[in-house]
Amino acid sequence: MRLTSFLHSDNFSGWAFILPYLIAFVPLLLWPFIQGFWMSLHEWNLLAVTFNPGAKEFIGLGNYIRLMGGDDIGWSLQPMWPFRLVVSALVVTLYVRSIRRRAVGYSHHIMAGLTLFTTAVLLGLTGDWYDTRFWIVVRNTLVFVAWVVPVTTTIALLLAIALNREGRWAATLRSVFFFSQILSVTVVTLIWQLVYGVRNGFIANVLAPFGIDSPNWLTDDQLAMGAIVAATVWWSVGFALILFLAGLQQIPGERLEAATLDGAEGWRKIVQIIVPSIIRTVQFVMIMQIVLHFQVFGQSQLMTQGGPGDATNVWVRYIYQTAFRDSEVGYASAMATVLFAFMMIFSLIQFWVTKRQES
Amino acid sequence: MRLTNTLTASALALCVTTTGVQAETELELARFFGSCDDAGTDVSAAVGEACIIQTIINAYSADDNGVTIETLPTDWGNYYDQLKAMYAGNSAPDVHVIHKSSIAEFASLGALMPLQEDDLRAAGINPDDWVDRARDAVTYDGQMYAIPMDIHANLWHINLDILAEAGLVNDAGEPILPSSPEELMAHAKQVKDATGKDYLTADFAQFPIGVRMVLAMLWQQDSNVFSGDEATVNTPEAQRAVETIVGLFDAGYADPNLNYNDSQQAFLEGDAAIQINGTWMVDIYDSETRNDDSALASYYVADYPQLFDEAATWADSHTWALPVTLQSEPEKYEAALGFLAWLNDHNVDWARTGHLAVRQSVLDSAEYQNLAHRDEYSNTVNIARDNPPAVRYSAIQDVLNRELQSIWLQGKGIEEALADAEGEINRLL
């Protein structure tokens, strides 16, 4: 009796639906994640533990302290003050505006609090950090994401608007722009190394007739990150483009027609009609990309090897080097766990944003 | 056609198994050196590291000795990461190449199989024939862990035409090379003024050739980057070494931005008089002199010049090791030893790349001594130097590479960079 009622309950169908996913999720994602966290609490040498399982040592949060701790920690207004000031002012303005409009919710408080805490407190911390390289790779990763995500989104959106029409040309171009998406990172970096080659690269050959020497795209301190960003944008614009095209199809034709009749043209039409109509797609694309590009690895590893110096070294590459070159898998796991926490925050933001819109 | 082939092959395989003929022992082999398309089995015709080693492997595999060898992917970049991951996943290759400088790390953790001299002799390898340096290369803590294949070192690869134009070739047709940092700058200026070309080129941007140059110049001043557990990077000697290189960049006599391929192209296209690179380039550059598309017509190889008090150049060794897991697989162990003996027998073929042979009998042979350009860098074997074994050697090299790059590519102060490197290396030791 009880069993039959369970079999007919929502609870049962719920479990039945997620079970196939759980079968893959638990052993392939959740379990390794727990193991990784467990490793991060140890001093754990990859090879030593393989040949002598007793060679690991439990050190609690030791790896996290080594990663993020430092001596003489203090706080100051000075570091990055223009950036901190502008962002803080922006957040406060937006927050006050939403309070005035009584449009403020649970997620607003948390997001505003989190951002202010970051800009006011976290970014003001000073000290002799134990692992200075970690902060360099975190900064590089943030810079990478801060460039790739808005540029990819903007280009993809503009392309989608331009290609959202019938006809053979538009269809062909849609395929062309999507094409790069199907390539693996190895192929993408190979193509772009041929483009950037200082002596026989594509750009060098284009510039040669004008008597201009090619800049050192991949070994110049000022250009290397930009070069990697450009390659990544080229690679990922296709995926965003497809999502935007799907979003644009949802906009009712009458709305656009009405806007045109009311005289909305060009930029005004894009900013005031099109973007608000597909704002959820825009948010989705951006958050997906943030989470994806935080994990950038191949471009840095294959195009610049993190150089010159550490100029293009990124978070996941540092994890990889620490784990495999230096065999310190415990410490590398701690870095990976922190990276996970970072991406979790962005996933939660996305969750809140969608939740809010649904309600 | 393909179907018939498959059917015949399966039928044959079936016959072999049913008639009880012993199956071939399969060995998995890991190496770097890059890939060689259609390598074949003709060792004598091969040119360059990748093709010479692959033909040696293929010839052994094709030989009627009951052993077949499967070569795993041959990339340089992540070789040691992959090797480590394979060891950690209990799927180590049955035989693999390893640098002398990496033996300490793998052997100290118990990954490599200790090799017994008696077993080697039984397989036809005579360790007494190895020069002392080679024997030391494969010995860690008094125990042998690999067999040596070469000693490789940094050389000066020279385009004689450019030096001649600058008046830096003597009557005997040999290059005139600097004997002090000041003379280095003077020669570089002479080349620039006479030809407009760079004096030297090397990969200062990615591959650690710059590190190896600085190391050589430290050893030439009787200094080193570490001694025992203490880093000694921030020293007047290191400053002098780095200043010597930076001087060339600042005056426009060399370009720090070129990576490995670009620097090679610069040399082959006649845009630089000298390339600093390893012994592995000798047969390739020699063959380029017969290539009409290459601007390299008269090629000369020189020992790394002595710029300070004593002569020294960076060196390492390629060696071959077996995983400790072969201890429980006697059949594979025997097959692998057989292959190591085959490699040892082909020492002179490997030396054709330009590398120095490790067997005294090969060094003394006419075949070796008649190899192209061999007499031009005969002193390299005497001045070859390297660091004492260190478990974290690859990480130490990476620190140096990063900090040196930050000096010449990012404008970081020499003293600051050396101090940072010293701090980081101290943490690694």
Q: Which residues of A touch B261 (CB under 8 A)?
A: 197
- The count of domains in chain B is 2
Provide the shortest C-alpha distance from residue B113 to chain A (in Å).
Answer: 12
Amino acid identity of residue B1, one-letter, is M
Closest CB from B87, B262, B403 relative to A50: B87
Strand, coil or helix: B234: coil
Asked whether residue B121 falls in the same domain as residue B188, the answer is no
User: Quick one: B138 and B162 in the same domain?
Assistant: no
* Boundary of a domain, candidates A83, A102, A129: A129
- Which residues of chain B lie closer than 8 angstroms to A305, CB-CB? 206
pTM tops 0.95: no
Q: Do A307 and B257 touch (CB under 8 A)?
A: no
Q: Residue by residue, what is the 3-state secondary structure of B326-372?
A: HHHCHHHHHHHHHHHHHHHHCHHHHHCCCCECCEHHHHCCHHHHCCC
Token pair in block for residue A177? 């722009």
E strand or H helix at B105 = helix B100-108
Residues A171 and A277 occupy one common structural domain: yes
**B419 plus B305 within the same structural domain:** yes
Residues B114 and B39 in one domain: yes
The closest of A165, A287, A185 to A235, measured between CA atoms, is A185
Q: How many CA atoms lie within 13 A of A285 on its CB side?
A: 28
Residue of A nearest to B87 (CA): A47
- Is B91 touching A (CB cutoff 8 A)? no
Retrieve residue A352's tokens: 């809140």
**Residue B298: what pLDDT?**
94
Looking at chain B, which residue has its C-alpha nearest residue A216?
Answer: B257
pLDDT tens for B110-125 read: 899 999 999 999 999 9
- Indicate if A80 and A157 belong to the same structural domain: no
Nearest CA in chain B to A46: B88
Return all residues near A207 (Cβ < 8 A) that are at least 6 apart: A213, A214
Average pLDDT, chain B: 91
- What is chain B's percent helix, strand, coil content, to nearest 5? 50, 15, 35
Q: Which two tokens stand for residue B38?
A: 């259609």
pLDDT value for B39: 87
Instruction: Check whether residue A245 and residue A119 sit in a common domain.
Output: no
The verdict on A223 touching B (C-beta cutoff 8 Å) is no
Comparing CB atoms, the residue among B88, B206, B265 nearest residue A199 is B265
| Nearest residue to B275 via CA among B284, B287, B283, B266 | B266
Q: What is the DSSP string of B158-222?
A: EEHHHHHHTT-B-TTSPBP--SSHHHHHHHHHHHHHHHSSEEEE---SSSTHHHHHHHHHHHTTT
Residue B18 covered by a domain: no
| DSSP at A54 | G
- The count of structural domains within chain A is 2
Residue B6 lies in a domain: no
Q: A307 CA to chain B: closest CA distance, Å?
A: 7
- Residue B90 within a domain: yes
The pLDDT tens digits of the residues spanning A157-191 come to 999 999 988 889 988 998 898 888 889 999 999 99
Determine the residue of chain B that is closest to A55 in CA distance.
B109
Residues of chain A with pLDDT under 50: none
List Cβ<8 Å contacts ≥24 apart for B412-416.
B412/A309, B414/B239, B414/B242, B414/B243, B414/B246, B415/B234, B415/B239
Q: Which domain holds residue B326?
A: 25-151+317-382
> Which DSSP string do the residues of A196-245 spell out, in sequence order?
H-TTTSHHHHHHGGGTPPPP-TTT-TTTHHHHHHHHHHHHHHHHHHHHHH
3-state secondary structure of B409: coil
Judge if A124 and A233 occupy the same domain. no
**Same-domain check for residues A260 and A205:** yes
Angstrom CA distances, B398 to A176, A190, B239, B394, stand at 40, 24, 19, 6
Q: Which of B106, B403, B410 sits opposite A221 (nearest CB)?
A: B410
Question: CA–CA separation, B116 vs B136, rounded Å?
Answer: 15
B418 vs A contacts (CB less than 8 Å)? none
How high is the pLDDT of residue A269? Answer: 81
Is B15 a member of any domain?
A: no
Same domain for B221 and B257, yes or no, is yes
Sole residue written with tokens 């960049």: B249
> Are A118 and A154 part of one and the same domain?
no
Interface of B with A in 204-243 (CB under 8 A): 205-206
Contacts of B53 (CB under 8 A, 6+ apart): B31, B33, B36, B350
Task: Flag if A219 and B409 touch (Cβ within 8 Å).
Answer: yes
**Of A109, A129, A149, which residue is a domain's last?**
A129
- The verdict on residue B13 lying in a domain is no
For residue A17, is it within any domain?
no
Q: Which of B87, B206, B258 sits opposite A198 (nearest CB)?
A: B258
B11 touching chain A per CB within 8 A: no
> CA B305, CA B178: separation in Å to the nearest integer?
7
Contacts for B395 with CB less than 8 Å, ≥ 6 apart: A325, A326, B428
Please tell me whether residues A251 and A193 are part of one structural domain: yes
Is the same domain home to B278 and B293?
A: yes
CA distance B424 to B384: 27
- What range defines the domain where residue A180 resides? 134-327
Task: Supply the pLDDT for residue B38.
Answer: 85
Do A171 and A91 fall into the same domain?
no
Q: A46 — contact with chain B (CB < 8 Å)?
A: yes
Between CA A238 and CA A148 the distance in angstroms is: 13
CB contact under 8 A, A51 and B324: yes
**Residue A215 contacts B, CB cutoff 8 Å:** no
Do B356 and B371 touch, CB atoms closer than 8 A?
A: no
Nearest C-alpha in B relative to A310: B402
Domain identity same for B60 and B147: yes
Contact between A47 and B88 using a beta-carbon 8 Å cutoff: yes
Residues in chain A within 8 Å Cβ distance of B105? 47, 327
Structure tokens at B196: 């407009």
Give the best residue of B75, B84, B328 to mutate against chain A (max A CB count within 10 A): B84
Same domain for B180 and B256? yes
Degrees, nearest 5: CA angle A29-A31-A36: 90
What span, in angstroms and rounded, lies between the C-alpha atoms of A262 and A25?
51
Is there a contact between A324 and B420 (Cβ–Cβ < 8 Å)? no
How high is the pLDDT of residue B19?
44
For residue A327, what is the nearest residue in chain B, using CA coordinates? B84
As a whole number of angstroms, the distance between CA A251 and CA A281 comes to 12
Shortest distance, CA B395 to any CA of chain A (angstroms)? 6
A121 and A249 together in one domain? no
A58 occurs within a structural domain: no
Q: Taking CB atoms and an 8 Å limit, are B81 and A308 in contact across chains?
A: no
Are A84 and A119 found together in one domain?
yes
Q: What is the interface size between A and B, counted as CB pairs within 8 Å?
A: 90
Is residue B2 assigned to a domain? no
Whole-angstrom Cα distance, residue A332 to residue A339?
11
Positions of chain B with pLDDT under 50 = 1-4, 6-9, 11-20
Q: Could you tell me if residue A158 is inside a domain? A: yes
Task: Return the CATH number at A148.
Answer: 1.10.3720.10
Q: What is the pLDDT of residue B24?
A: 85
Residue of B nearest to A45 (CA): B109
- Asked whether A312 and A140 are in contact (CB, 8 A), the reply is yes
Instruction: Tell me, yes or no, whether B109 and B239 share the same domain.
Output: no
**Partner residue facing B405 (CB), from A307, A321, A326:** A307
Helix (H) or strand (E) holding A254: helix A253-261
Whether residue B321 sits in one domain with residue B294: no
Residue in the block written with tokens 């692992």: A131
**Which chain B residue lies closest to A222 (C-alpha atoms)?**
B410
Of B392, B394, B410, the CB nearest to A311: B410
Residue with tokens 């050389």: B155
- Give domain status of residue A22, yes or no: no
Give contacts of B 356-415 with A, CB under 8 A.
392, 394-395, 398, 402-403, 405-406, 409-412
Whether A50 has its CB under 8 Å from any CB of chain B: the answer is yes
Cβ proximity of B145 and B317 under 8 Å: no
- Which of B259, B324, B426 to mutate: most A Cβ within 10 Å? B259
Q: Do A309 and B406 touch (CB under 8 A)?
A: yes
Spatial contact of A303 and A227, defined as CB atoms under 8 Å apart: yes
The DSSP output letter for A351 is H
CA distances for A186 relative to A193, A289, B35, angstroms: 11, 19, 17
Q: Cα(A138)–Cα(A63) distance, rounded to whole angstroms?
A: 17
Residues A101 and A229 both lie in one domain: no
CA B340/CA B120 separation, integer angstroms = 9
The pLDDT of residue A34? 95
CA atoms within 13 A on the CB side of B214: 30
Query: Is A203 touching B (CB cutoff 8 A)?
Result: no
Is residue B319 within 8 A of residue B232, CB to CB? The reply is: no
Query: Residues of A with CB below 8 A from B265's CB?
Result: 199-200
Cβ–Cβ below 8 Å for A308 and B205? yes
Annotate B33-93 with DSSP letters as a single string: S---TT--S-GGG--SHHHHHHHHHHHHHHSSSSEEEEEPP--STTHHHHHHHHHHTT---
Of B88, B392, B405, the CB nearest to A308: B405
A44 in any annotated domain: no
Q: How far is A227 from chain B (nearest CA, A)?
A: 15
Neighbours of A200 (CB within 10 A): 14
Please tell me the predicted confidence (pLDDT) of residue B7. Answer: 46
Residue A253 host element (H or E):
helix A253-261
The CATH number for B375's domain is: 3.40.190.10
The answer to whether the Cβ–Cβ distance between B84 and A47 falls below 8 Å is yes
Residue A84 lies inside a defined structural domain of this protein? yes
DSSP character at residue A152: H
B327 to chain A, any CB pair closer than 8 A? The answer is: no
Neighbours of B327 (CB within 10 A): 11
Q: Are residues B418 and B361 part of one domain?
A: no
B positions 127-186 inside 8 Å of A (CB): none
Both B188 and B268 in one domain: the answer is yes
**B253 close contact with A: CB closer than 8 A:** no
Whole-number pLDDT of residue B16 = 43
> Which residue from B84, B206, B257 is facing A46, i.e. has the nearest CB?
B84
What pairing do the DSSP bridges indicate for beta strands B272-278 and B198-201? parallel
Number of H helices and E strands in chain B, helices first, is 19, 15
Within-domain flag for A193 = yes
Q: CB contact, 8 Å: A200 with chain B? A: yes
The answer to the question of residue A351 being in a domain is no
One domain, residues A98 and A208: no
